[in-house]
Structures are given as structure tokens and as C-alpha cells.
């Protein structure tokens, strides 16, 4: 099938390249000229493992093309996937302006019977709103809600191995038509109405954010009572009813999705007349947890960060990506900079986004002369570093492992002090 994908962000590019590899012909519309020329030159504007190869292969097979003009990209296609950004507006609502604009732009220019497939995360009710817009301009174009569940850093894997494919449609047959695109994949296709499909996305992300926050806050209690959070959470997660995933303590949930989607769900609940107190508490507890991790750094240098050197390992919001949006690492950096410390940071993929941080080329360089070293992103290479060399190059002797990534024993044997999240300090 010929499909247009509008918006070459990470969801758009992975969807486009993934669908192309399933045999469909994809026409990507991208309005940003810099991004477009990068793509046409064979360079990806984002780092996503496996994506470059997938895009290259699709382009070589003639199944993937890029267009500056969205109408041209959508010419004659059977479906248009909308993969545009929906940033949080001032009031906490997801801003669907970019999607609305494209729906309006395409109205009157689509082939008869074409489906508009909404992949962007949009507030509940948006598919119906887009339907009203397109109905005014070009009746007979059904809008389908088809939320996305890729994780950054494993988006290509997630495309080919989804736990489920969720499709919400009002017009009979349209959800099945979208589901048929994925025939080659071994995944259940869950069909429902568009409002419910939109709700699945927010519900999933909010639930995962709540799980992480539960793990983080329980870890804080473990630390206070002298229990080992890793052992406790592993045992809790071995109950099949609970499951092991997303119970890893860390510095708080980050990225472009959980912080945005939790707030958007609170806001859309409020607009619908429901006070989602539980989710509000999750967001507050996450903020407080981030503050407590920051406090550990202050504690490590004796209470005053002024003139102190902080070595920061990791900037990305998690390992496997160069994305620093809502990264807890950056929050930690900001808070220690505000306390008067200097920060030397190293990340294998992410660039430094905050003025005042000195970015260096290796983990050891970041540790040089540090009074305290902070592991903020769980890049596996940090666990394999020789801590005797770290101890030699540091000025102080404390390691704050905000990801519970390191082996505490190895750190302590190198003559350093160790403090994790919910682990006994040594």
C-alpha cells in the first residue's frame, strides 16, 4: 500500500522505515528544510539504534521518499499517518495545533477513501475533532486513532515486536484495514472506538510513570529502614500479577513522554470534571524524589556545593538515546550549578544542553578533580570503568549512583564511598 507519513521525528521515521520494510511504499512529508536536506543526504537527524540501516535499505529499495510538501507526500496514497509533535501547552494540555494544521492542509487533496491515521499522542477526543475538520473540507475521509508505544532507544525493536497494536475507529472496516498493514507481525490487534484508543496511550504511560515512582519512593523508604531496594523490588516484581518491568529505581522519570503525558492526563481529567488525585500525587512524588537525589549530592560534599566539582556521568534521559528532554540528569546538573558547583559531564551520545556545564570526551575526564561523581544515566560503559583510576583522578571520594548501575563492592574496593537509590550506603 502507498502510505504518507507526515512528520519525520523519531516516531515518524521509525514508522515510515518499519512500514517500508513490511513491503509498503512510504512518502514522508517533513516541513523543516534542514531536517529534510539531512534526510535526503542519507543522514538521520536523531540517534536511534538500527534506524539508519532500516532507512538506508528502504531508500535503496525505492520504498521510502521524502517531500517538503505535505500535499505532494499525500498524493494518491491510501492512508496518511500523522506523526507530528504535540508539546505540552501552558495549561498542561497537549497542543494539537500542528496536527490540526496538517489535517486542514490536506483536506480537499486526498484520494477518495483515504484514511487519516493519528499516531501523535493527542488529548482524548482529538480524532473526533480532526474528523469534524476534514468533514468540512473533504467528506468521506475517516479518521482513525492508532497510538504509538515505541520506546526511544529500542523503537525499531518495538516496531517489529509490539505487545499489541491498538486501533480506534468509528467507520466499520477501517480499523481492520490499518491492522492489515501489520499482517507480517505476530501481535494482537486490539480494535475499539477512537476515544478509547486515545485513552489507552495516556493510561499506559501514566501507569508506567506511576510504577517507576512507586519503585523510587519505596526505594527511599528502603534506604531509610536499611532494606535493599533492588532485592525488595525484584521480589515484588516476581509476583506474576505485578511483573518485573519498570520497577528499576532511578533519578525520576524523564523523556519526551512520561512527564508530558502524566500532566496531560491530569489536565484532560480536570477538563472532564474529574480530579485525578492519584496521578497528581505521582507527579509531585517524582519531583520530590528528584529533589532528594539532588540532596544526596549536596550531602556528599558536606552540605555546601560552592566551589565544588561535580563529575556527571550521563546527560540523556535514559541509556540508548541522545535525547535530553526532561532528563533527570539535566535537572541534577541545574540544581548543583545553582548551588555554586562546577559540572564536568560526559555522555556517550547526548550533547550538553545547559550553559555552564563543561562537556568532556570520556568518563574518566569527567571524574577528574571531582569532589563527587554522579551516575545520572545508565550507560553500560560506566559499569565497566576501572574505579581505581576513577579514585586516583577524583579530588573527593564519593560516588552517587542515581541509577543503581554500579557494583557497590567494586566502587568501595577502589577506596571510594558509594551511595545508590535505596541501597545501603558504603
Contacting positions for ligand UGA (CB under 6 A)? 121, 148-152, 205, 208, 212, 246-248, 250, 253-255, 257-258, 317-318
CA distance 341 to 357: 10
Among 283, 245, 7, 2, residue whose Cα is nearest residue 121: 7
> Is 352 assigned a catalytic role?
no
Annotate 275-305 with b (16+ C-beta within 10 A) or e (fewer).
ebeebeebbebbeebbebbbebbbebbeeeb
State the minimum distance, in angstroms, from the CB of residue 35 to ligand UGA.
Answer: 19
Contact 262, 282 (CB under 8 A): yes
Catalytic residue (one of 114, 222, 257, 359): 257
SS3 151: coil
Query: Would you tell me how many other CB atoms lie within 10 Å of the CB of residue 25?
Result: 16
Report the sign of the C-alpha dihedral through residues 339, 343, 349, 355, in that order: positive
Name the residue nearer to ligand UGA (CB basis): 300 or 405: 405
Among 315, 279, 300, 270, residue whose Cα is nearest residue 93: 270
CA distance 187 to 175: 15
The DSSP code sequence of 285-322 is: HHHHHHHHHHHHHHHHTTT--TT-EEEEE--SSSTT--
Name the residue nearer to ligand UGA (CB basis): 148 or 371: 148
Give the distance from CA 303 to its chain's centroid: 33
Strand order of the β-sheet with 372-375 is 357-359, 342-346, 309-313, 372-375, 398-401, 417-419
Among 418, 374, 369, 416, residue whose Cα is nearest residue 395: 369
- Give 345's strand partners: 312, 359
Do strands 342-346 and 115-118 pair parallel, antiparallel, or not at all (unpaired)? unpaired
- Give 418's strand partners: 399
Name the residue nearer to ligand UGA (CB basis): 258 or 346: 258
Name the residue nearer to ligand UGA (CB basis): 179 or 252: 252
State the minimum distance, in angstroms, from the CB of residue 354 to ligand UGA.
Answer: 17
DSSP letter (8 states) at residue 114: P
**Residues designated catalytic:** 257
Amino acid at each position: 500500500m502507498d502510505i504518507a507519513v507526515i512528520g519525520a521525528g523519531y516516531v515518524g521515521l521509525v514508522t515510515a522505515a518499519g512500514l517500508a520494510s513490511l513491503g509498503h511504499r512510504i512518502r514522508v512529508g517533513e516541513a523543516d528544510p534542514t531536517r529534510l536536506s539531512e534526510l535526503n543526504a542519507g543522514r538521520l537527524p536523531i540517534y536511534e539504534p538500527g534506524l539508519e540501516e532500516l532507512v538506508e535499505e528502504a531508500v535503496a529499495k525505492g520504498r521510502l521518499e521524502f517531500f517538503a510538501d505535505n500535499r505532494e507526500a499525500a498524493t494518491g496514497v491510501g492512508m496518511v499517518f500523522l506523526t507530528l509533535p504535540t508539546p505540552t501547552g501552558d495549561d498542561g494540555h497537549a497542543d494539537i495545533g500542528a496536527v490540526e494544521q496538517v489535517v486542514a492542509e490536506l483536506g480537499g487533496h486526498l484520494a477518495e477513501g483515504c484514511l487519516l491515521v493519528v499516531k501523535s499522542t493527542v488529548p482524548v477526543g482529538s480524532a473526533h475533532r480532526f474528523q469534524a475538520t476534514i468533514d468540512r473540507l473533504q467528506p468521506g475521509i475517516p479518521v482513525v486513532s492508532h497510538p504509538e508505544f515505541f520506546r526511544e532507544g529500542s523503537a525499531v525493536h518495538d516496531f517489529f515486536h509490539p505487545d499489541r497494536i491498538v486501533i480506534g475507529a468509528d467507520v466499520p472496516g477501517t480499523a481492520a484495514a490499518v491492522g492489515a498493514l501489520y499482517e507480517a507481525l505476530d501481535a494482537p490487534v486490539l480494535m475499539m472506538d477512537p476515544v478509547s484508543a486515545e485513552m489507552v496511550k495516556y493510561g499506559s504511560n501514566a501507569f508506567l510513570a506511576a510504577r517507576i515512582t512507586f519503585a523510587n519512593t519505596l526505594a527511599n523508604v528502603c534506604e531509610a529502614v536499611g532494606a535493599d531496594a533492588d532485592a525488595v523490588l525484584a521480589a515484588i516484581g516476581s509476583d506474576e500479577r505485578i511483573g518485573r518491568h519498570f520497577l528499576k529505581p532511578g533519578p525520576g522519570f524523564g523523556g519526551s513522554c512520561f512527564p508530558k503525558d502524566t500532566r496531560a492526563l491530569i489536565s484532560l481529567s480536570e477538563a472532564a470534571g474529574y480530579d485525578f488525585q492519584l496521578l497528581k500525587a505521582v507527579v509531585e512524588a517524582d519531583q520530590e524524589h528528584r529533589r532528594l537525589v539532588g540532596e544526596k549530592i549536596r550531602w556528599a560534599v558536606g552540605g555546601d556545593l560552592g566551589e565544588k566539582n561535580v563529575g556527571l556521568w550521563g546527560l540523556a534521559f535514559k541509556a540508548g538515546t541522545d535525547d535530553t528532554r526532561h532528563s533527570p540528569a539535566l535537572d541534577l546538573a541545574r540544581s548543583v550549578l545553582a548551588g555554586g558547583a562546577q559540572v564536568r559531564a560526559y555522555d556517550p551520545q547526548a550533547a550538553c544542553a545547559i550553559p555552564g556545564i563543561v562537556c568532556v570526551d570520556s568518563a574518566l575526564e569527567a571524574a577528574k578533580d571531582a569532589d563527587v561523581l554522579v551516575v545520572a544515566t545508565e550507560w553500560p560503559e560506566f559499569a565497566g570503568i576501572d574505579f581505581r583510576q576513577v579514585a586516583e583522578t577524583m579530588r573527593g571520594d564519593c560516588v552517587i549512583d542515581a541509577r543503581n548501575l554500579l557494583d557497590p563492592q567494586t566502587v568501595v574496593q577502589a577506596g571510594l564511598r558509594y551511595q545508590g537509590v535505596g541501597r545501603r550506603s558504603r
